[in-house]
Structure 1
Amino acid sequence: MLIVRSSEWKDQFSERLENGAKSDSWTLYKMAYNVVKTSLIKDFRGLQCPKFLPHLQPFKHQLEVAETVIERMNGKAILADEVGLGKTIEAGLILKEYLVRGLVKKALILAPASLVNQWIDELNRKFHIPAMQYNKKYDLSLCDIVVTSIDMAKRSPHKEKIYAQNFDLIIVDEAHKLKNHQTKNYEFVQQLKKKFCLLLTATPIQNDVFELFYLITLLKPGHLGNYETFRTAFSASKHDVEHEEFLKELVNQVMVRNTREATGIEWPDRHVAIIPITFSDIERDIYSMITHLKTNSSLFSDAFSIITLQREMCSSKEAVQYTLMNMREKCTRHEDLQAIDQIVEKLAALQLHAKAEKTFELIQQANDKVIIFTEYRATQNFLQAYLYEKGITSVLFNGKFSKSKRDWMKQLFQQNAQVLIATESGSEGINLQFCRYVINYDLPWNPMKLEQRIGRVHRLGQANDVHIYNLAIQDTIDDHIVDLLHTKIDVFEKVVGELDAILTSYKLSI
């Protein structure tokens, strides 16, 4: 562009002086001055963004988290508040603050597919941040705030387009799914170009302490040393760690965690109980036949297959029957076929299931809406049919449903049905504060999955006490699962902090 000297302003200035004309509008000048003055940031300390969000009323703990991450952690942090305390709001505040200060111009939010639209809606509506969903047809260099699912983003040709961008901020929701350096999710996030990074998870330790090590290493490589140094310094194993106070101090330099009790908000109480159940004689016989398969059949020589069948038997005959029939197709030995057929024949004669009967009893006593969590879709279908025969309306919820169908099931549950029967996919990305009863029909190996399930109802907006019933069949694999859950909870509390009640000892409390 050619720049030339001009003297036109002199003529215009002389003309205004001779004619007594105003140089400009004083009112417009003051308005422009006030706009600039308002947008000036005189001090880095303290949040500026709330004054640009007059309709958003964040809680005190959410504002404190945003300040801590920006002022003390340099925008690299794990947001690990307990489920339902508003980690999305905290991340939105941090993003908005960096946008206001001009420190972030380009950001990428990675979330489970079921939460992408929720993120876009909250950023647009609550924070006035023009976020958009990733589309392979768009030129990413022209898109400032992009939201996408990590499952899509990590695949070609999407990952190549995303890798080509220089992001100021990366936000990863449900960050526990990154797990460790061997997963594609972790590898994808690690290779992104980023200045700031937020990892959101209420459960930074899912199964073992090394998951937390890898999350922190992703944020700040070397903060806990390398893998061998970490393992040696803290005598770390999957389910145990030493020098936990020193480790917790290091962890708290990169992690912010609020518990419900610490927020100062008045929360409804959480009542948790393990409900012990006894198998009927025929159920016990079938369970024993399954257990003996390991020694009597080459097809079931590995322990995992037997454990799977045992867990399915503790869930429903439909679940174990489905697996056995699939295994039958692989049989080449007459002895294996005979062993499977004997169990299937016994299952066909089984009319009742002790756990289902106890579930019906709990639903009757609740006389209100109830969520049931199971590990198996075959059990889902069994429970729906069983409850229908008892005159109880229910809807299903699982990961095979499209987003629109999931939304429809949630609406049906809220307005029409008494029971929602969900698989693990129902423990994330769905808020059900209108319900206050949860039955964990099948116990997971991972205690954090229990916390995620409970968090669907025990969260901001819940007005009533919540009741959690964990069903466990005595003298079965369920006993081992309960023991392991307690061990994992102990590790979590040593390193991360106290957990709200998710499990209790065996006792009947109703």
Structure 2
Amino acid sequence: MGSKRRSLAAKPNKEPKLSRTDAPAGLSPLDWQRGLRRQFGREQAFGLENLGSEPFFSEFRVSNPVSKSSYRVAIRGRGPGGNFCSCPDYATSELGTCKHIEFTIGRLEKKRGAKTAFARGYQPAFSELYLRNDGKRRLHFRAGTDCPAELREAAAGLFDLEQDGLLPEERFGELERFMAVASKSGHEFRAYDDALDFVAGRRDADRRAALLGQVFPSGAADPKLLAVLKAPLYPYQAEGALFAVKAGRALIGDDMGLGKTIQAIAATEILARHFGVSKVLVVCPTSLKYQWQSEIMRFTGRHDENAVRVINGGRAQRQKDYALTDFCKITNYEKLKPDLDLIAAWAPDLVIVDEAQRVKNWNTIAARALKRVDSPYAIVLTGTPLENKLEELISIVQFVDQHRLGPTWKLLHEHQVKDEAGRVTGYTGLEKIGQTLAPVMVRRRKSEVLRQLPSRTDQNLLVPMTEMQSLHHQENADAVAKIVQRWRKTRFLSDKDQRRLTCALQNMRMSCNSTYLLDQESDHGVKADELAALFEDLFADSEAKAVVFSQWTRTHDIIIRRLDKLGLGYVSFHGGIPSDKRPALVERFRDDPGCRVFLSTDAGSTGLNLQHASTLVNMDLPWNPAILEQRIARIHRMG
């Protein structure tokens, strides 16, 4: 029997598998991140379609059969920097590559002639203006083989050909003239979408700054700016509004109580009057939608039918609402994803995002949907831009300007402090982040603008009732209506009817806080949740304390549940507390740093002095205005 001999060719050494969480020793963060995308891209089963006529250096469509998404990829070589992909990762990572580019290169390398083609390099007949993002976004020019002499000469006078045709920052103003020369040359000249968007953004910013200088020559102190709304702006608020307009897309991160809403409304009016903004979308928590509607109408005087519309109801109703030509539409975070198509069709000019910190996890459905809402202008409002993790700030800023902070991997590498086990223990160099954000973010502390503020600031928050609250409220309102109707007929009320009337009116007021005040079982109502959210902002200041008034101790009960969940210390002060125990509660609130909230009823508040608190919240308003002033006097006293 003869034997068969089989020889096996040695397989090439495979690249070592890279960890997605820990950088290998001896590999820079940049090379690690590029390696991860190369590794991940080569493993994918994407679809690939050549959109051009060239086999290698062409434009391709890369499609993902799982997510049903597709991106345009341009291949100009093997190395990072010269290629392009329309995906978000390529736009922001500063790596010059992404999984779609690496997948495409991997597939092309398996084709016959690839080695020769990549060795020869990219030599198109046409010329290109393209954008590179190597730590900073910059324009480059690449001359084609058929580029005429006059265009080459014009390019040599503008671009730095020794640095891959880089456009120097100081020569940006001359680009428009060069592009006019290119368009008249008869030569094929390609300017890619990302490059054109970059150019348009720079031009818009320059024009906006020039026009603002003409309209408000005295800047934030200009009388025309201070009078842009029906209510006067404080100087720092005028500065904030002007800053937001000048930036185009901005983050207002002032302390709670400094009037972020009115600054956003003032900026909106400036954009509407001088920059053609006619469609504004406000995204806010559900409970604040009617508050926004009220304040826009109050401060701008826009009361006509198509001025300010709250988006409510089922899909069919929302579809009708988005089809209407309103100046402003107000929606909530939860409705963003299902309404993305309606929002895109309406095409807002300006998007205002209120209470951005409410979406703490920016990987949630609502947060991802928000990032897909497109508009030329954006204003994001949050009293706490950085709460717990740096990633929260990164995501908020990415909606404002996806390139401002650079890639997340780079920022975390530079600013995270880790222990030996790789756990994050803190952050370093945050002042550098502040400097980077200065062109798009304004943040003022109360201490900085104290002299501009009035001695006392009052704010009314409108909170809608839930369906169950409305049912209780309506039942008691019907009872009141019957008694009043009987009184109108007879001009007499029996003692029994008087008691019923008082009880029904009381029940109507109690139902506005929560159904718990009526049945002590259910808890339908959002006032306590809004209060909890307000506390998260307020207590970002480690020394802040608040007094909360309600006529009923049952309101204290539902608030206490939220305080326990937040881990906030409190005291409950009411008429049932023996007089000899009361001083100790006041002392604890005054002296204990962990005791942040003083819950009180009118019955227990006589003679209290709680001036060390900075905020007073009335969960319900008393019938008598004098009692309201007495409550406020607990923390605000003349002299």
TM-score by length of 1: 0.47
Q: Which has the larger radius of gyration?
A: 2
The normalised TM-score by structure 2 is 0.38
Q: Which has the higher contact order (CA 8 A, sep 6+)?
A: 1
